[in-house]
Amino acid sequence: MSTLLNILKWPLRIIILFGYIFVPICHGGVIVFDRVTSLRTPVYLKVLTKGRFFSQGGKLVEIYVNDKKLKRILTGGDGYGYLKYTPQHLGMIRIAAMSNGDREIGILLVVDKNDKVILIEVESGFKESLFSDTVKADSRKAVEILSKTYKIIYLNRYFGAGLSKKWLENEKFPESATLKWQGSQMLKAMKNKDIQLHAIIGSADLISAATKYIENRYSFEDTKNGQKVKDWQEVLKLLQEDPEKAESKPADN
């Protein structure tokens, strides 16, 4: 019976998330993708215009930064639109996009070159939270504590950023950017922007892709390329015991 339950866990999680969030996000309009960069390092803001189920190109989109209109752009044939932007302030910047009466908001997280960043894979890092309120509360509390010392960036792999962001918001996890996992090249790009990748928490195969770029790698699964941890309390203890913690700059996620 336990083997059967383990086999069914992921399909059950997908069904729960799908039913929990599908109705609010299944509509046309515009999507704003979260982005991360360092101070005064250019980044391409990214939007997508879509119909009820599929992307629609050739749409005008007005981009706002912290409620100040930046520019109007036209999406390409694939529905995607880009706008180069160089942030002059640290912290979370609200990026709003308006198209054909629809409005969506994303986050541009701007970090200092001395800030230390922790990457957390949503699907693997919080998978047990879908079935246990106690685990959910413990993981949320751990991330809240870590967010006072480190910058937090969430990664999604299977559910999509919209699903992941909605779940994190509804479950009251600390707000921050949620990025689509794109493999080791994504970590390389972050390094090139002088973003200090201090730790990563995720599945065994995800953290193995981070071997070259991140020293502190933790997983709740068996792994040969990082450290297996039992729960979020152990993760919290390991990162709080970091000898460089005292030198870390307090973060304001």
pLDDT of residue 1: 47
Distance CA 132, CA 145 (A): 20
pLDDT of residue 53: 75
Both structure tokens of 93: 């910047």
pLDDT of residue 161: 79
Which helix (H) or strand (E) segment holds residue 49: the answer is strand 43-50
As annotated, the residues of the chain forming the CATH 3.40.50.1000 domain(s) are 116-247
CATH code assigned to 29-111: 2.60.40.10
Q: Which residues of the chain have pLDDT under 70?
A: 1-28, 241-253
Sheet containing 29-32: give its strands across: 29-32, 43-50, 80-85
Superfamily designation of domain 116-247: HAD superfamily/HAD-like (3.40.50.1000)
Taking alpha carbons only, the member of 55, 154, 180, 175 closest to residue 105 is 175
pLDDT of residue 11: 53
As annotated, the residues of the chain forming the CATH 2.60.40.10 domain(s) are 29-111
Tally Cβ neighbours within 10 Å of residue 163: 21
pTM of the model: 0.85
pLDDT of residue 242: 53
- Give one DSSP letter per residue of 61-108, joined into a string: EEEEETTEEEEEEE--TTSEEEEEE---S-EEEEEEEEETTEEEEEEE
Is 113 in contact with 38 (CB distance < 8 Å)? yes
Question: What's the DSSP call for residue 171?
Answer: T
Render pLDDT for 136-188 as a digit per residue (tens, 0 to 9): 999 999 999 999 999 999 999 988 778 899 999 999 999 999 999 999 999 99
